[in-house]
Amino acid sequence: MSSKNTVQRAADQRALRTFALWMGWCISSLTVFAMLYSKANVIGFVQNDSTRITWIILGMFVLGVAVSFMQAMRMTAEWFRAYKIEAMVMKKGLAGVTLRGGRHIVDRFTDALRTIAERNGRVDVESLVDVEFSAQHRTSQFVGLLGNLMITLGLIGTVLGMTITMNGLHGALGALGIDQSLLVDGLRTAMNGMGVAFYTTLMGSVLGGVLLRVFSWITDASVNGLQDLMIRTYLVYAAADLEPSDDRDLRALDASVGQLSQRMELLHLAMQASRKEMIGLREEAGLMYHELKELAEDDPIRQLAVGHARYALSVRPGFLNRVFARFRN
């Protein structure tokens, strides 16, 4: 019993690796944000950015982190379920796995394997696992795509900032020696353009090219690891259940007989409970019959009970006649 609990705790700890790695990188991202805020005054520039490119970059980063977090939580739950399925397959094979519907990907994968085995088909485990987990790969790729788009927006911001800088310098040179205020405005515009160029490049490369790509790698690596676990589990512990053979048919038949026996036991328990209820009903009917016999003929309660009894006899005459006949005898 203690060894079983030790194995279960070890499996639970392994299932938390994706979440722990994601949280560790999230803390690193917050540290980078703090450094950018304290050293480069990024937040102040974002608030005053007239081009709004940094707003778009920051919004895409928040979206990517949110999607990555939800996927990390989903994969953590899948890892927990996968280790439980591994333990069941190690003990009883493919037929001994108790599924929980289609909420988990690993349950759907197991159900697909079982369906193919029941139809005596040949199983391509690697192709099937790629199909079942393809949606999770696409989610990780979407997060990586957001990172690439953020880098592209940073480059666009660089070009736009340099354009603003050139326009500002052109205005400043045109106002040189003519209008001091126009000269100052031109220089201010040029400096603003340089800020757009540098800040958009900085945010696009750091947030998209580094932080968001690592978030995408964490979840994608988790999906790949889960695929490897499921392939290894069924190829090692359920290989005999995946190849068409007479032995596999016998094991499937034994599993079906076992399930049928469990259902028969449940039906037997239900019938026993119904029998107890019927005995209680008969006792209540007998008690009511004796109490009615003791009442006077003109008692209103007896008259009401007689009316209900006549109505019941008209609806179900056979059953009530048998019940009351036993007490008369």
Other beta carbons within 10 Å of 249: 13
pLDDT of residue 166: 84
CB 65 within 8 A of CB 215: yes
Looking at the DSSP assignment, which residues form a beta bridge with residue 100? 102
| 109-160 residue pLDDT tens | 988 888 887 777 777 888 889 999 999 999 999 999 999 999 999 999 888 8
% of the chain residues with pLDDT over 70: 76
* Eight-state DSSP code of residue 212: I
pLDDT higher for 3 or 46?
A: 46
Residue with the two structure tokens 């927990």: 80
At residue 7, does pLDDT exceed 50? no
Determine the Cα–Cα distance for residues 176 and 23; give it in Å rounded to an integer. Answer: 55
Mean pLDDT of the chain: 79
Q: What is the pTM of this model?
A: 0.68
Q: What are phi and psi of 102, to 5 degrees?
A: -105, 25
pLDDT higher for 253 or 280?
A: 280
